[in-house]
Every structure is written in structure tokens, then in C-alpha cells.
């Protein structure tokens, strides 16, 4: 007997869709923010080269979004495997 949450969608299928959305949306958000920060960072480095190390830290921070999305997707995949 399938564990159905409503509308014919099983719990495992819902978790798989959620894992895909978590990874996809977080990676898209990280890429978008790194693009905006990258262009601003190059402008800062062109005018003030001594801020290069500080700017590098700001460019790495958005990658946390993608890592957290991966962790959430990994946890949801554990629920998909447990649903079978």
C-alpha cells in the first residue's frame, strides 16, 4: 500500500521533488548573487587593490546557499530511500 499524501503523490515522490527544488533553487540563487557580487568586486579591486582579500570572502559567502541546499536535498533523499 502506497503512502499517499493527497492527489496521488506519494511521500517518496514529494520528497524527491523537494530535493530537486532545494538543490536547484539554492544553486540558482548562489549563482545569481555571485554574479552581482563579482561585478562589484572587480570594480572595488580595480580602484583599491588592497581590498582583494576582503572581497574574496564576500565572493565565497553566497556559496553557502548552494551547500545548504545540497544538505537539505541529501536529507530529503534519505526520506525517499526510507519510503520504499
Domain ranges of the chain: 26-83
Which pLDDT tens digit goes with each residue over 29-79? 999 999 999 999 999 999 999 999 989 888 888 999 899 999 999 998 887
pTM: 0.73
Higher pLDDT, 35 or 84: 35
Query: 13 vs 21, which has greater pLDDT?
Result: 21
SS3 6: strand
Please give the pLDDT value at position 68. 93
- Counting every residue written for the chain, the total comes to 84
Mean pLDDT of 14-38: 92
b/e for 39-74, b at 16 or more Cβ within 10 A? Answer: eebeeeeeeeeeeeeebeebeeebeebbeebeebbe
Kindly report the backbone phi and psi dihedral angles of residue 9, in degrees, each rounded to the nearest multiple of 5, phi listed first: -95, 120
Residues whose CB is less than 8 angstroms from the CB of residue 41 and which lie 6 or more positions away in sequence, other chains included = 55, 58, 59
Amino acid at each position: 500500500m502506497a503512502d499517499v499524501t493527497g492527489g496521488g503523490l506519494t511521500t517518496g515522490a514529494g520528497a524527491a521533488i523537494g530535493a530537486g527544488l532545494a538543490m536547484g533553487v539554492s544553486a540558482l540563487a548562489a549563482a545569481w548573487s555571485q554574479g552581482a557580487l563579482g561585478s562589484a568586486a572587480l570594480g572595488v579591486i580595480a580602484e583599491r587593490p588592497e581590498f582583494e582579500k576582503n572581497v574574496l570572502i564576500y565572493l565565497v559567502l553566497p556559496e553557502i546557499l548552494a551547500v545548504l541546499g545540497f544538505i537539505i536535498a541529501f536529507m530529503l533523499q534519505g526520506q525517499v530511500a526510507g519510503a520504499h
